[in-house]
A and B are shown apart, each in its own frame.
Chain A
């Protein structure tokens, strides 16, 4: 299902045009370097030009980006035009993350605590060593593994719902909108309206319901496994619609003849699902699962608001732990190191996941 790639046509460009392009780029680069240098010197107090802020660098960067794009087109013709498609996004992303990434990495290797009167100092691998012995981190990481695994359950439910929506039903539009709506409630509202109100153990409708079906003293956040389950339920409630719409889109994109083939009666429907629909849906499924896992691994708001990681750390997530270190304890250096390590863990995990799923998919099809 992929569109083929285009090769850039070879064309002869006039020498003047190429030269113009090169000079444009060189000039813009020089200008950028000059402005950065001037601002740096000004900030360092060597020169006194009196810049109010670093906006000039920002404007020069935008100009430089435009010049880069133009010079690509001028010097490389169609290949340059092709590059111009991806350049805006690349330059934008680079501009937004280049400083934060470098600065973040630097912070991660310092002992920066906002309340320390002596400021921050490079402290080598101290933060990593602390991390290695930090039981909160390992506890949260093992919770993350559990949370990530629940994505499979969410996926199964979502697949079922997508099949339902794809079946021949009346009022399809109503059901589709209804199924989509939970995705739109903000996590803060979810925490309070569901976690602290519907699941309140005295007056919450969920507790009333639980009592009605025989759970004598319902408590949704006291025993570790029930607490975890409750968090997952709230989180799934928000995110299942996201998986559903992706899968539904996939189902509707299935070729018509496949649908005809799948339209056999009763006993064989199950078989045809496993043998035809499910394998064909694998690419969409993988996208949905990977995206969902990534979002799941960032789970924080609901946990922070509803349980604060409790009872005894049973629902703690890495992100909520980072928030506590970072915000409640102003422990900027250490918290940034946790985040960087976590980032690396996720990247490795996602890469492996994509690889494993890729191989699995090839075997299936």
Chain B
């Protein structure tokens, strides 16, 4: 990465007094930078800390605003206990845990499936739109792009009733494949957008050389372009996963039991009997955990990928 350039180093041959002043300014600047970083880190992480710690609180600890475990409140396993995931319940039979695991795996399969499908067909389309001039009747590249983008704009609720009827007729209600198809539709525009930027920045001389060597355009795409565009695909893939993972509207509309996903279970922690803070927090924690791992291990791909191919 090329960002590792030293900041504001004063020229060596400057008079000593001005160098001291520059160093002073430099120190102040560093302090300000780290202060700003720390502040925003706090803003970003505090709600997550709150969620995590709430999963170990009893109701009264939530409603009294207790913050620090052992100091303010005695942590309890209640949240995870109600999911059958605490140390004392983990080996006992638990309906709720079965439900949780079922929904968790549905979430995994639907997110992965939809993201993979979207990245595959989205990358192909993006490459086509980036490299070739299409003429489908009156449609040119710009129109095709906008057609894809318009799917992003559509408020999902418009599709609720039509999709319900369509899926009923196709026997896709409450199936994972049905959910995967809808999610693919949902994230496809973003994938195409990201990947088109990506391909646009890869100079086409590379493929040209391959074509001259007798490669077909598909061959050139798979052997030459794809490896270069890999970080972008990973980035698009991760963005898709995050969006699918948290999708609630279609999950609640199109599933009943077999294909139900985690957000539906999180939402159902509220109702006319109030809210189980600990369970909701524990569920949210469990739901965000895989994404956090993705964030930690694949974060560099996100930025690298979105750096549109020239980040290296």
Residues on A lying within 8 angstroms of B by beta carbon are: 1-8, 52-55, 58, 78, 81-86, 88-90, 92-93, 96-97, 99-101, 103-104, 107, 160-161, 164, 166-169, 173, 175-190, 192-194, 196-198, 200, 202-205, 208, 237, 241, 245-246, 248-253, 256, 259-260, 263, 265-266, 269, 287, 291, 294, 297-298, 301, 318-319, 322-323, 326, 332, 335-336, 339-340, 342-343, 346-347, 350
Contact = CB atoms under 8 A, between A and B. Distances in A.
Interface stretch (B35-43, B74-82, B97-105): B35-43
A175 B41 contact: yes
B200 to A, nearest CB: 5
Contacts of B15: none
Contacts of A168: 3-7
B170 A89 contact: no
A249 B311 contact: yes
B204 interface: yes
A318 B154 CA distance: 12
Interface residues of B, number: 116
B224 interface: no
Given A86-B128, A237-B43, A104 B242 contact: no
Nearest to B38: A175
Given A249-B307, A346-B153, 13 more contacts: A2-B201, A8-B132, A53-B171, A83-B128, A85-B127, A89-B124, A100-B158, A178-B44, A188-B267, A197-B54, A205-B50, A251-B3, A266-B25
A179 B41 contact: yes
B181 interface: yes
Interface centre among B10, B152, B304 (most CB of A within 10 A): B152
Closest 3 CB pairs of A and B: A85-B128, A249-B306, A203-B65
A223 B228 CA distance: 53
Given A164-B33, A203-B65, A253-B311, A96 B181 contact: yes
A179 B132 contact: no
B125 A89 contact: yes
Interface string B262-291: 010011011000010100110010011001
B47 to A, nearest CB: 5
Interface in B1-49: 1-8, 10, 22, 25, 33-34, 36-37, 40-41, 43-48
A331 to B, nearest CB: 11
Nearest to B14: A265
B311 A181 contact: no
Contact of A339 (B1, B10, B157, B311): B157
13 contacts: A84-B218, A86-B129, A89-B122, A90-B125, A96-B185, A103-B165, A177-B296, A186-B266, A237-B44, A252-B3, A252-B307, A259-B3, A342-B155
Interface string B179-195: 00110110010101100
Interface of B: 1-8, 10, 22, 25, 33-34, 36-37, 40-41, 43-48, 50-51, 54, 62-65, 67, 121-122, 124-125, 127-134, 144, 147-148, 150-163, 165-166, 169-171, 181-182, 184-185, 188, 190, 192-193, 197, 199-204, 207, 216-218, 221, 242, 245-246, 248, 263, 266-267, 269-270, 275, 277, 280-281, 284, 287-288, 291-292, 295-296, 299-300, 302-308, 310-311
A89 B148 contact: yes
A121 to B, nearest CB: 16
Contact of A193 (B4, B54, B128, B203): B54
A97 B5 contact: no
A335 B159 CA distance: 11
Contact of B299 (A58, A180, A193, A194): A180
Given A4-B204, A184-B295, A245 B306 contact: yes
Most chain A beta-carbon contacts within 10 A, residue among B2, B37, B130, B152:
B37
A269 B33 CA distance: 15
Contact of A54 (B44, B170, B263): B170
Given A168-B7, A335-B157, A88 B41 contact: no
Contact of B62 (A103, A203, A269): A203
Contacts of B310: 253
A339 B62 contact: no
Contacts of A8: 132
A177 B64 CA distance: 31
B170 A53 contact: yes
A148 B276 CA distance: 34
Contact of B67 (A97, A100, A205, A269): A205
Given A55-B171, A92-B184, A97-B185, A3 B299 contact: no
A185 B291 CA distance: 9
Contacts of A256: 2
Contacts of A97: 151, 159, 185
Contacts of B181: 96
Nearest to B308: A253
Given A178-B44, A246-B306, A192 B280 contact: yes
B158 A197 contact: no
Given A54-B169, A55-B170, A193-B281, A291 B193 contact: yes
Given A168-B5, A168-B7, A301-B248, A177 B295 contact: yes
Contacts of A184: 242, 245-246, 288, 291-292, 295
Given A184-B291, A256-B2, A347-B150, A58 B170 contact: yes
Nearest to A106: B162
Contacts of B152: 294
A169 B34 contact: yes
Given A53-B169, A178-B41, A81 B280 contact: no
